[in-house]
Amino acid sequence: MTESENKLAKFFCDTLMQESCQREDPVEHIFGKKLCVLSSGIEERQNPSNSLNGLSQILPSLYLCGAGAARPDVISDLGVTLIVNVAPELPDTPLPEPPPAYMRVSVLDKGENDIRTHFDEVTSRIETERLKKGVTLVHCVAGVSRSTSFCLAYLIRYFGMTLRDSFLYLKATRPQIRPNVGFFRQLIAYEEEVLGLSTVSMIFIEAIGQEVPDVYAPQYKAMEQFYRKHRKHARRRD
């Protein structure tokens, strides 16, 4: 694992260990996820996609989900102290009593929309909540594109993780994540702004006739091979 992944995993593991000291159940059962602490100090989560009611735990202080999972009972059970609703097309998130702090971000899931302008404000609120020992829940409609983009920006800004490492970390936790291509371009620019480097490149996929982040390339591998094979045979016939 990279140094930034080690840093984040150690933080996650140390925090869970601290919380386990205050609970009767062992650390491997906290939040319903079985953890295995390896000799290197890195924790490995089993069945990462088996999230609680559609939620995915990114950090002890941060959850990501779609709107359907953001229910009052779940919010209360998790001890959420801040809700970030990133779906202006939805009504306000139903909140329990007493209600947690609530933040709305108006960004539709279209690549041409400017999500980057909101990164600093949202990530700052998430970090402030963490420092207060609070818990943040970020959601959009499906928990795939917009809310994921903010979680990636948070890991870049406050944990010094590269965009590539952040994406792979989140995908291991929530396999369905997929910021739209326009948002990913903005995340690439944000990584350059914050860390001064670029770890994800845009590559052209002939089969679909457009550029995608190189971390999406494995999803198009079979399609691209079929396309090239078909094109080769077509040229022979010509």
DSSP category for residue 208 = T
* Cβ-based neighbours of 141, under 8 Å, separated by 6 or more: 66, 67, 87, 89, 90, 109
Q: 0.95 cut: is pTM over it?
A: no
d(CA 169, CA 62): 14
Indicate whether 75 pLDDT > 60. yes
Average pLDDT, the chain: 81
The residue whose two tokens read 């845009």 is 202
* Cβ-based neighbours of 223, under 8 Å, separated by 6 or more: 205, 207, 208
Between 146-159 and 181-195, two packed helices, what is the crossing angle to 10 degrees? 10
* 198 contacts 209 by C-beta, under 8 angstroms: no
In tens, the pLDDT along 111-164 reads: 999 999 999 999 999 999 999 999 999 999 999 999 999 999 999 999 999 999
In tens, the pLDDT along 83-101 reads: 999 999 999 999 999 999 9
* 57 contacts 51 by C-beta, under 8 angstroms: yes
The CB-based long-range contact list for 28-32 (8 Å cut-off, 24+ gap) reads: 31/57, 31/60
User: Any catalytic annotation for residue 151?
Assistant: no
Q: What percent of the chain has pLDDT over 70?
A: 71
Indicate whether 48 pLDDT > 50. no
d(CA 95, CA 43): 33
In tens, the pLDDT along 154-203 reads: 999 999 999 999 999 999 999 999 999 999 999 999 999 999 999 999 99
pLDDT top residue among 5 and 71: 71
Domains and CATH numbers, the chain: 53-199 (3.90.190.10), 201-233 (no CATH)
The residue whose two tokens read 């953001």 is 70
HSE toward the beta carbon, residue 100, CA cutoff 13 A? 30
Q: Which of 13, 65, 140, 151 is catalytic?
A: 140
Burial of 25 (0-12, 13-18, 19+ CB in 10 A): exposed
Residues forming beta bridges with residue 43, ordered by sequence position = 37
Q: Which of 82, 179, 170, 167 is nearest to 123 (CA)?
A: 82
pLDDT top residue among 35 and 80: 80
